Amino acid sequence: MLLRDPVHLVSPRAVPYWTVRALPLWIIVLAAELLWLSSPRDHFFVRVVVPALTVVLAAAHLIVMPRWRFRVHRWEVTSTAVYTQSGWLRQERRIAPLSRVQTVDTERGPLEQLFMLANVTVTTASAAGPLRIHGLDSATAEALVAELTEVTSHSQGDAT
Amino acid sequence: MLLVHPVRELGQAIPALVGVVLAGRAMGDAQTWWLGPAGVGVVVAVSVLRWMTTRYRITPEQVQLRTGLVRRKTIATPADRVRSVDVTASALHRVLGLAKVEIGTGGHHRGRGLELDSLTQAQAAALRAELLHRDMAACQDTTRASLRAEPSAVAVPGDHDSELENDTGLDQETELARMDRRWVRFAPFTMSGVLGAAAILGIGSRLVNQSGVTAGDVGPIRGGLDYVERNPIWLDVLQGLAALVVFVTVLSIGGYALSYWGFRLTRHSRGSLHITRGLLTTRDVSIEERRLRGIELAEPLLLRAAHAARLSAVTTGLKSRSGADGGSSMLLPPAPRSVARQVAAAILRDPAPVEVALTAHGPAARRRRFTRALLAASVLIIAAGVAVWRGAAPWLVWAALVSVPAAVMLAEDRYRSLGHAIAGSFLVTRAGSLYRRRDVLQCEAIIGWNVRQTFFQRRAGLARLTATTAAGRQRYAVRDVPLVLALPLAHRAVPGLLDDFLTPAPGTPDLDPAGQPHPHLPLR
């Protein structure tokens, strides 16, 4: 018995979106290193090799992570349940029944709007159970939210 | 009522008042002596205002609480959302014959939620009975009405008798557990004594510092320090440790008595559990049994050595395990393990989840536990080695080497604690060594599943299967379970949820574990 992957992928624009989202952290780290380690007394090793290593690591992360994420992030909605898969190094799959869904939230910050994407969060009565779909195309997200709110308005009870 | 608020607010404001008085004295002006009494007057006035502007109302549909003068706040809760009622009475409350009622609903509150302070004790008891038992009463009314409506062959006097029987039969309380004085022997094995001692020592040393008195000048302390200096250091350390142990033990026994004095756990036939306990501050927690979704049987390491355990309820609407004394969801204080299991079986109305043998998680999980423990130990050894190389004392390396057998024992124990099972209508999972906990959760209360795999777990075929629920800790995990065991477990616990997403493993026939052919369900 295996748990198969969900059917739908997220939008391909999510790859540059994730890259741009991870970039500021590396810039901060690099800037901190250059400022902190740039006094002339330090070894050549510390002054040059460490920032170079950081650049290599950053490049590896920014190239590998978004593409790996794109292959892992998937979502699916059937007539009874919502099923999402997310992560890259650490992967998580979440399943919740539609009858227990409480709210469906869409989040579009400035970065998401730049890439015309949206992040959808489906919450249940459990604080541990929100299902997140990151990097959905805006139109798909709107359709999904409309469909989910339509279906969940018919069910009663919230399992508390 | 009018007395409780000002006294309590004064108590809370004492640090600020002390600060005001000290500031006045530091300024050195004789004209600022009135700052202290003025501060007290302000606090009293504010609390009287708060009492005057707090109102509450209970209707058949809602419970409403309105507070505040400058910033008005109204909290309203539908009456059928009430899941638990917690009645607390501190010493001051009891002297005045009052109590405080906290109403728990199924949601997650930011802030205090519904708290009705300083009702009379009779009002509090009546309120609790009404809030908790209204649903049962409504059900009985409808059934009685339908019975009366049916043409019945039973004679009229017989009908009256059965109605009377119903009324008295429904108000029964059966006692499930009661405090046994001998349980106090478990008090030193809890952390409450250590925390209390640390708090006292911390506050005491700060007070001594700030009051400007050097401890060495005081007579008895000078004598004590002389005594300590005369003896060899190992004797001092031993005596110090013994004194600390005695201090911690006394504190913990005192704390145990204060928290759990007069403990009683009863079941009311109208469908609620009542827990009463406390010496100075009495607490009376009522949990609607329909909302009780399971139990947690916890064995912290020290209590496990003493063959004792703690029992908590998994229920919606109560803050789980808040507070060192176990909080509102505590069902049993630290008590012998056999008693805890027996009470758990009585509460669940089924001994199976407590007694069932758990399925082990296999050699991959054991390897993972050992790897992590030995990795931590090797990090310690390397750190000690580097420190010694840089010039620290050589015994650090021996101390670090001791951590290896300790890590091995810890890993083996952690592996043996892992297990899961489905017993009756409950999901049972157990994990942990330093804090071993057996969680029993009703399968009906499971909302959804999270299956998490780290990079190394994927290589080993393991996963962490988490059942999400609205009760208790919100998530109950089966850790490091092989994926081939996790999926059938999830499928059995909540049939129908995973059906659309499961496929047979390649190479096996298309069957589910019960042996029935699995129909292909249409996918959207």
- Which chain B residues are closer than 8 Å to A90 by Cβ? 452-455
The residue behind tokens 């047979």 is: B504
Check whether A128 has a pLDDT greater than 80.
yes
Q: Judged by CB atoms within 8 Å, which residues 20-79 of A form the interface with B?
A: 76-79
Cβ contact A92–B450 (<8 Å): yes
Q: How far is A114 from chain B (nearest CA, A)?
A: 30
Contacts 24+ apart (CB under 8 A), B272-281: B272/B132, B272/B133, B273/B176, B273/B313, B273/B331, B273/B347, B274/B173, B275/B330, B275/B331, B277/B179, B277/B333, B280/B90, B280/B91, B281/B88, B281/B89, B281/B90, B281/B91
- Give the C-alpha separation, B177 to B274, whole Å: 11
pLDDT tens profile A42-66: 677 777 788 888 999 999 999 999 9
Strand boundaries in B350-424, DSSP class E = 419-423
Closest approach of chain B CAs to the CA of A153, in angstroms? 17
CB-CB under 8 Å, A94 with B449: yes
**For residues A91 and B439, is the Cβ–Cβ distance under 8 A?**
no
Contact A95 B505 (CB under 8 A): no
B contact test, residue of A95, A152, A155, A156 with most B CBs within 10 A = A95
Instruction: Find tokens 């704390």 and name the residue.
Output: B255
What per-residue confidence (pLDDT) applies to B33? Answer: 66
Residues from chain B contacting residue A91 (CB–CB below 8 Å)? 452-453, 458
Of B106, B447, B501, the CB nearest to A124: B447
Query: What sign results for the dihedral spanned by CA atoms B91, B93, B95, B97?
Result: negative
Residues in chain A with CB shorter than 8 Å from the CB of B293 are none
**Chain B residues touching residue A2 (CB < 8 angstroms):** 483, 487, 502-505
DSSP character string of B324-346 = TT-BTTEEEEEEEHHHHHHHHHH
State residue A92 phi and psi, 5-degree precision.
-135, 140
Chain A: residue nearest B80 by CA? A160
Chain A residues in contact with B503 by the CB 8 A cut-off are 1-4
Q: What is the pLDDT of residue A101?
A: 87
**Average model confidence (pLDDT) across chain A:** 87
Q: Which token pair is B377? A: 């130990």
Chain B CB within 8 Å of residue A151 CB: no
H/E stretch holding A30 reads helix A14-36
Judged by a CB distance cut-off of 8 A, whether residue A143 touches chain B is no
Which amino acid belongs to residue B482? P
Strand partners, B172: none
Across the interface, of A79, A94, A127, the residue whose CB is closest to B474 is A127
pLDDT of residue B440: 94
- Per DSSP bridges, beta strands B446-453 and A91-97 are antiparallel
Q: Cβ distance B5 to B118 under 8 Å?
A: yes
C-alpha distance from B472 to closest chain A C-alpha (Å): 10
Indicate yes or no: CB of A129 within 8 angstroms of CB of B450.
Answer: yes
Partners of A126 on chain B (C-beta within 8 Å) are 447-448, 468-470, 474-475
Among the partner-chain residues A78, A93, A131, the one whose CB lies closest to the CB of B500 is A78
User: Measured between CA atoms, how close is B54 to chain A, in angstroms?
Assistant: 29
- The number of C-beta contacts closer than 8 angstroms across A and B is 124
Dump pLDDT digits (tens) for A6-20.
999 999 999 999 999
Q: How far is A52 from chain B (nearest CA, A)?
A: 27
Domain at A74-152: CATH code: 2.30.29.30
Best of A74, A123, A126 to disrupt the B interface by mutation (most B CBs within 10 Å)? A126
Q: Determine the pLDDT at residue B67.
A: 76
Give me the pLDDT at residue B481, please: 93
8 Å CB contact of B454 and A89:
yes
Per-residue pLDDT tens over the stretch B112-124:
457 777 788 888 8
Domains of chain B, each with CATH number or no CATH: 185-259 (no CATH), 362-367+400-498 (2.30.29)
Q: Which residues of A touch B501 (CB under 8 A)?
A: 3-4, 6, 76, 81, 83, 95
Kindly determine whether residue B451 and residue A93, on different chains, have CB atoms separated by under 8 Å.
Answer: yes
Report the C-alpha gap between A67 and B10 in whole angstroms.
61
* Of residues B449, B503, B524, nearest to A95 (C-beta): B449
- pTM for this predicted structure: 0.75
pLDDT in tens, chain B (524 residues): 566 666 666 666 676 666 666 666 665 555 666 766 777 788 778 777 777 777 878 787 777 888 776 777 777 777 777 777 888 888 878 888 888 888 877 555 444 457 777 788 888 888 887 777 765 555 444 444 444 444 444 334 434 444 443 444 456 788 888 888 888 888 888 877 778 788 888 888 888 777 766 666 677 777 777 777 777 777 888 888 898 889 888 988 888 888 888 899 999 888 888 899 888 888 888 888 888 899 999 998 888 989 999 999 998 866 554 444 556 788 898 999 999 999 999 999 999 999 999 999 999 999 999 999 999 999 999 988 888 888 777 778 888 888 899 999 999 999 999 999 999 899 999 998 888 999 999 999 999 999 999 999 999 999 999 999 988 888 999 999 999 999 999 999 999 888 888 888 776 554 444 444 333 333 33
Q: Which residues of A touch B483 (CB under 8 A)?
A: 2-3
pLDDT of B316 reads 82
Torsion of CA B83, B327, B2, B76, to 10 degrees: -30
Q: What are the chain B neighbours of A77 within 8 Å (beta carbons)?
A: 524
